Amino acid sequence: MKRLGWCGVALATLAGGRLWAASSTPSSLLGINTDKPGGLGVPMQIILLLTALTLLPAAIMSLTPFLRLTVVLHFLRQALGTQSTPSNQVLVGLSLFLTMLVMQPVASDIYRKAWEPLEKGTITYEQAFDSAAQPLRTFLLRFARDKDIQLFLEASHRPQPHTPQELDLAVLMPAYILSELKTGFQIGAVLFLPFLVIDLVVASVTLSIGMVQLPPVMISAPFKILLFVVVDGWNLVVGSLIKSFYT
């Protein structure tokens, strides 16, 4: 957990470091250098670093399994008809910890290849950014669809790369987001089907016996929850989501 947190900060730091002139002898406190003539001053470098850190939550929510997990869990709650149970905080917390589990190998790879050499001063910020981008690019390529990648290549008027590893992150990141949204909606639609059948059956029975005053949702909700508990739904859903990132 601690290493994953440091890797998240490392990614934001490396992204910010790409925006200013860095040297191989960083400051002990901020990791920045002001000895280079014509370089940015300390206040401006701190502003750029903090700006890069503000992008970290967006990166975690969009460029990790967090996106698919939250979409699917939201659909599951809607299908169960439990309104606000589990709460948004619980679903986000579960998604965050599952994201840490899935991204642990990628974060460790980034930490070993980019952050540790940067701390030792053996590579520059530019080299560290390139080293950190490779494991992230490999992860994104596993789940980004070719159709979405081609869409953003055409939209940005970029040439077709010779190999997937040559894809720019500016193209790969939005392609990954679109692919994950589609996958999340597909899984959510499948989750809806068994609960929709229960709703239809209950609605048909209540209307046939003339129970028009009582909403069918009030009757079907306990049956849907009971079915979900009997089949150990949380274990099945979460287990299937985790396995989908390892196949």
Q: Over the stretch 30-65, which tens digit does the pLDDT of each residue have?
A: 444 444 444 456 777 688 778 878 888 888 888 889
Residue 153 reports pLDDT greater than 50: yes
99 or 217: whose pLDDT is higher? 99
Q: Quick one: average pLDDT of 226-244?
A: 90
Q: Which amino acid is at 7?
A: C
Q: 233-244 and 216-230 helices cross at what angle (nearest 10)?
A: 70
| Both structure tokens of 14 | 């490396």
What is d(CA 209, CA 211) in angstroms, rounded to the nearest whole number? 6
Alpha helices for the chain (secondary structure H): 2-17, 42-54, 56-62, 66-80, 88-110, 116-120, 125-143, 146-155, 169-208, 216-230, 233-244
Q: What is the pLDDT of residues 105-135, one digit of tens each?
A: 888 888 888 888 877 878 777 788 888 888 8
Please enumerate in sequence order all residues whose Cβ is within 8 A of that of 180, keeping only pairs 6 or more positions apart, or say none. Answer: 67, 68, 71, 143
Average pLDDT over residues 91-102: 92
- CB-CB contact of 111 with 14 (8 Å): no
Q: How far is residue 154 from each of residues 147, 149, 164, 209, 230, measured CA to CA in Å?
A: 11, 9, 15, 58, 49
Model confidence pLDDT, tens digit, residues 156-215: 888 888 888 888 888 889 999 999 999 999 999 998 888 888 888 888 888 777 776 777
Per-residue pLDDT for 155 more than 60? Answer: yes
Q: What pLDDT score was predicted for residue 40? A: 52
Q: What is the pTM of this model?
A: 0.75
**Residue that has been written with the tokens 């077709």 in this structure:** 160
Please provide the size of the chain in residues. 247
Amino acid at position 24, single letter: S
Q: How confident is the model at residue 235 (pLDDT cuts 50, 70, 90)?
A: very high
Cα 232 to chain center, whole Å?
26
